[in-house]
Amino acid sequence: MLLSFVRRFFPDPTAGANHSQDRSHPNPNTRRSETMNVQAAFTCPPHLQLEISKAVYQLDFFARSIQLRGWPSPDEVETWKHDLGVMRAFDDLKRISLELLDGQGAILHEFQMTFGHAPVSGQRILDSAQGVEVVVLSAQERQQVTSFRFLVRYHRQDQSYKHLLKLNWSPAEAKIKRAQHAYDSEHARKITGGRCHGGVRVADSARHVLRIKQAGARGYAFADSDEADGLKNVFCHERYAPAGFALQPGRVIRAIVVQSPRGLQARSIEGV
């Protein structure tokens, strides 16, 4: 079995006052100027470039949607994509993830993309999701996020391509996880034709209390929130609930709510 190793990205503290940085690791990422000529000669295969772009775009879209402080500029994200493309071309990239941290450095929410999956059989269109889905976080929940980490899990074979990387990637330290509730993202899988899988894990405080107001005969229902956020017409389906769980009018549930191209939808449904 190949060993996995986690590395993290440190935002450049000179790039702006809003950049967050783990103080226990004072070394920022810097470009490898001494190997620029070698880097210029490397070209990631187009299909892998597209795969990386689709995966990073989903994390980038979420970060910008919640106005995550310290998120890198588009140019910096392109540098990430270059290095990830190198790792993917050498068949060494296993997973990327965005972790949102609270003031104590614990992981509140985590969004992952894994690579190396078999594409959907017979699917010609790369993106069948028609858009990205993002977790709906309340203003109070967003305020708890004080920093973030962008991590890469790889198979520790970087000795063969390390000279091609533009950034210095440093080992990631273990963090306490407050993220407890998870679901697999269908949209993340569809966007890449099954080549990448996505997973979301959030803290219990990020789940919404909903009351089912209307139920259909095919396992679906619509629910509203009694909370101050005023979420309305949240689509619920039994496939995101425990086996045998009935979505009945008047029933109160707790769920992760996502904004999808088709509107608000519930994930990881549980009864109250």
| Same structural domain, 200 and 220 | no
Full-model pTM: 0.82
pLDDT of residue 9: 46
| Same structural domain, 147 and 41 | yes
Phi–psi pair at 221, nearest 5 degrees: -160, 170
Please report, to the nearest 10 degrees, the dihedral formed by the alpha carbons of residues 25, 203, 260, 84 taken in order: 20
pLDDT digits (tens, 9 = 90+) for 184-207: 988 888 888 888 999 999 999 999
Overall size of the chain counted in residues: 272
Domain end call among 185, 204, 223? 204
Domain end call among 155, 181, 204? 204
Pairwise CA distance, residues 156 & 161, whole Å: 11
| Same structural domain, 62 and 153 | yes
| Same structural domain, 147 and 241 | no
Pairwise CA distance, residues 82 & 152, whole Å: 13
Number of domains in the chain: 2
Pairwise CA distance, residues 148 & 168, whole Å: 18
| Same structural domain, 36 and 164 | yes
Q: What is the DSSP string of 76-99?
A: HHHHHHHHHHHHHHTT-EEEEEEE
pLDDT of residue 38: 55
| Same structural domain, 256 and 141 | no
pLDDT of residue 32: 54
| Same structural domain, 139 and 226 | no
pLDDT above 60: residue 124: no
| Same structural domain, 131 and 62 | yes
Pairwise CA distance, residues 13 & 23, whole Å: 11
Phi–psi pair at 271, nearest 5 degrees: -80, 160
Residue 180 backbone zone (phi > 0: left; psi -120 to 50: alpha; other: beta): alpha
Sign of CA dihedral 77, 59, 23, 13: positive
What is the residue range of 242's domain? 207-271
CATH of the domain at 135: 3.30.900
pLDDT digits (tens, 9 = 90+) for 7-35: 444 443 333 333 332 322 223 344 554 44
Write out the two tokens for 185.
């993202």
Pairwise CA distance, residues 179 & 188, whole Å: 19
Write out the two tokens for 68.
């995550």
| Same structural domain, 105 and 177 | yes
Q: What letter does residue 20 receive in the DSSP assignment? A: -
| Same structural domain, 169 and 231 | no
Sign of CA dihedral 263, 267, 269, 272: negative
pLDDT digits (tens, 9 = 90+) for 53-112: 999 999 999 999 888 888 989 999 999 999 999 999 999 999 999 999 999 999 999 999
CATH of the domain at 221: 2.40.50.140
| Same structural domain, 105 and 190 | yes
Domain end call among 204, 229, 246? 204
| Same structural domain, 110 and 229 | no
